């Protein structure tokens, strides 16, 4: 599981870098990449705890149940993950509705904060 966690952490970093680069030119893709940065960081954390999930809804539920409710992660980060999920769905499947650049910038900020919070919980992920 450690190798899987490291690979997921690496994917989180790459997704966050992509989100930063795309925010002004392709807000839909930036919002999607911001979500995936948080998703992969969270997947890495759960992998270190020997937990894996096959559905996005399952990892989202586990975030709230296993991390936010017991107080390991502030409620703000649970709300931020929910926000990132919503903007990803708009960016990926919104049809005529697109993610505004301002919302994409906010998504990148929230993803950066979320990934940083996961890193504080598991500093050996980044090392």
Could you tell me the CATH number of the domain that includes residue 83?
1.20.120.330
pLDDT, one tens digit per residue, over 44-101 is: 999 999 999 999 999 999 999 999 999 999 999 999 999 999 999 999 999 999 999 9
pLDDT tier, 125 (very low <50, low <70, confident <90, very high otherwise): confident
Question: Coil, helix or strand for 28?
Answer: helix
Q: Is 53 exposed, middle or buried (0-12, 13-18, 19+ CB in 10 A)?
A: middle
How far, in Å, CA of 14 to CA of 25, rounded?
18
Give the per-residue pLDDT at 113.
Answer: 98
Give the per-residue pLDDT at 124.
Answer: 82
Q: Which structural domain, as residue segments, surrounds residue 43?
A: 2-125
What's the structural domain count of the chain?
1
What's the CA dihedral at 9, 15, 16, 20 to 10 degrees? Answer: 160
Q: Which of the 8 DSSP states describes residue 68?
A: I
Predicted TM-score (pTM) of this structure: 0.96
């Amino acid at each position: 599981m450690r190798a899987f966690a490291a690979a997921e952490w690496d994917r989180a970093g790459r997704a966050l870098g992509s989100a930063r680069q795309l925010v002004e030119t392709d807000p839909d893709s930036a919002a999607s990449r911001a979500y995936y940065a948080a998703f992969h960081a969270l997947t890495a954390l759960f992998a270190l705890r020997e937990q894996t999930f096959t559905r996005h809804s399952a990892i989202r539920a586990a975030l709230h149940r296993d991390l936010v409710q017991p107080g390991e992660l502030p409620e703000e980060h649970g709300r931020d993950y929910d926000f990132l999920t919503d903007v990803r769905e708009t960016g990926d499947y919104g049809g005529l509705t697109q993610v505004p650049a301002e919302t994409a910038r906010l998504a990148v900020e929230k993803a950066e904060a979320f990934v940083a919070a996961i890193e504080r919980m598991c500093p050996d992920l980044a090392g």
